[in-house]
Structure 1
Amino acid sequence: MGGINRRELGHGALAEKALRPVIPKDFPFTIRVTAEVLESNGSSSMASACGGSLALMDAGVPISSAVAGVAVGLISKANPEKAAEIQDYRLLTDILGIEDYLGDMDFKLAGTNKGITALQADVKIPGLPLKVVMEAIQQATVAKREILGIMNKCIAKPRATRKENGPVVENIRVPVSKRARFVGVTINQVDEETFSVFAPTPGAMNEAQEFIGDLCKDDQEQQLEFGAIYTATITEIRDIGVMVKLYPNMSAVLLHNSQLDHKRIKHPSALGFEVGQQIQVKYFGRDPTDGRMRLSRKVLQSPAATVVKTLSEKQSISMGSSNGHTNSTDL
């Protein structure tokens, strides 16, 4: 028990390097492999690589192949005439801690059945002949294959489905007209109509899909024609405008105050609107940014008639406030 030391960091980095090449580059999740090594006897890093490979397969991570590792040690006798040369030696496969401590080399090799993914050598003598290095690689390769055979008896390939506590990412199609409803929902946009949804578990993903399905259901939306005039029903009065429906089964759409009339108004009540009232509106397609419907009542109102009505109201006020005299004005 204690803090992480330099040796543990190095072994962890080696095990990570051994496993990284078999993980798909497009895997959408962050992976954390934890190896709880209770005793350091020989190569704990290679044991971590083997256990990490099994854990990744068990978790459903689609690694391309199983990875195993082994350590090879060296006991040598120096040449009495040339101290830098080896006179006799023995290579030891899967060394113990004492062999590592008293030996002349700690050579680690990890990889798949097809090749090597990580190598590390701790050489404690002045140098090694190439012949010894080649023999160490050959001996480690044989041991690696034997270990892979044992591992494959436990689990030979990644699980087809992840466990219930595994995270899930799926892509869904969202109509452009529904994008505005996703404010506050944790999703990532892939393209104009495709979104990537993350959930911590498959159960949560199912709930998210149901929620998104409710948001994106068609609402029996009719095919609207650009520039056509429709009869809309007011469903709600707001400070900034009125909510209207073009069809009973469609979602309500905001008709802003600026599109209600040519006159500038601060509240829809200025025009005498009430919930349930029907008004004529013109359809101008959808906003390219958020997909909202663009409706206008203002374009159907005659600006000239509004001016005439305003002048008429002013005239009536003037006629009624002239000390009983009646003024007439031709418009």
Structure 2
Amino acid sequence: MRGAAMYYRSGLHKKGAPYFESTNEDLRQSMARAQKLISWGIFDVQSLASQVYKKNSEWPQPPSIVFAPEEATSLDDKVMWTPYPFQTPIFASNTYMIARFRSGLAELVNETATMALQLEGSPPTEDTWAQGYEIYRKLIQWDRDLPRELLQERNSTPHCLCLRMYYQCTVINLCDIFEPHTSNQPLAQSDFDPSTIKSCAVEALGSLILFYKHFHGWKSVPIVMLHYLCVAGIHAIARLSPSEMKWMKVLESSVLGLWNMAIGWGRLGKAFLKIIAFLLRAQKVENDRITPKTAAIMGQLDGAYWTATDAASLAADYVVHSVPSDVAVTAQSVDDLIKAAEQLTL
């Protein structure tokens, strides 16, 4: 977040920023393209951090420089994506088109995070309900505007599936703000049903996790998948049923994905796995309701794998939304959940 603030204060997100200027015409075009990617990348990451860490956004507005549709199409022309470690192209990469649409989604993530922080634990007002409904309307329009080549049925590249997961998690986070307060929902926003909308988004997120596992396993998984896998795993627990295999598989894929990612992102990956283990224990989920692979990894979380030092030095206060509860929808940080679980209470 400090880096995002420095970048913004330096004006590097503005057209004509001296840092990205060049007298060489070919290099100037490359630098202009790099400036757009870097600026929107920083805005995107700080927006996501604002949402999940509950930190104030450092950018009053998004970058003014964007990829035009014609520019993105031209840059993507004849560029193919090849799955590691193979050399044969499978899909068009659509790198710049995805960057353009992800930028639009990042704006809505930033709006959602800013609105949530403005509430500061207070119930939403009539104006907040209207603001939330407007963000949801924009999200629906964003989804409708996606070109066919970016739909998951036609494109299963990792960055395309992650774009879809980002969308579903944004919808879930928006609904989390309003779901506990539907009894006081204004009639003017009656078309905005947080519980139903969120349930559909969770279903879609679970399917996307299974899609990703089927097509890519856990090779070269982007860091943001920690977030998607954690959210999907938590919601899968509330939907476990011996007669419903989907959520057993979603939970297994989330746990396997986090386990693999914990090799490179140890502390945070282990924290998310431990949260899932705590929730399985709190919900009294028996091993006959989870797969053998899930049970095996959960068994590895006891003992030396998770140490007191890990809990004490966990710096991130990552917020986990919608912890399953019979009482209310809650939002607690990883650190809070670990400390609570040490006293066997959630």
Superposed pair shares fold, TM > 0.5: no
- Greater strand percent: which structure? 1
TM-score normalised to the size of structure 1?
0.20
- Greater helix percent: which structure? 2
Structure 1 or 2, whichever has the larger Rg, is 1
TM-score normalised to the size of structure 2?
0.20
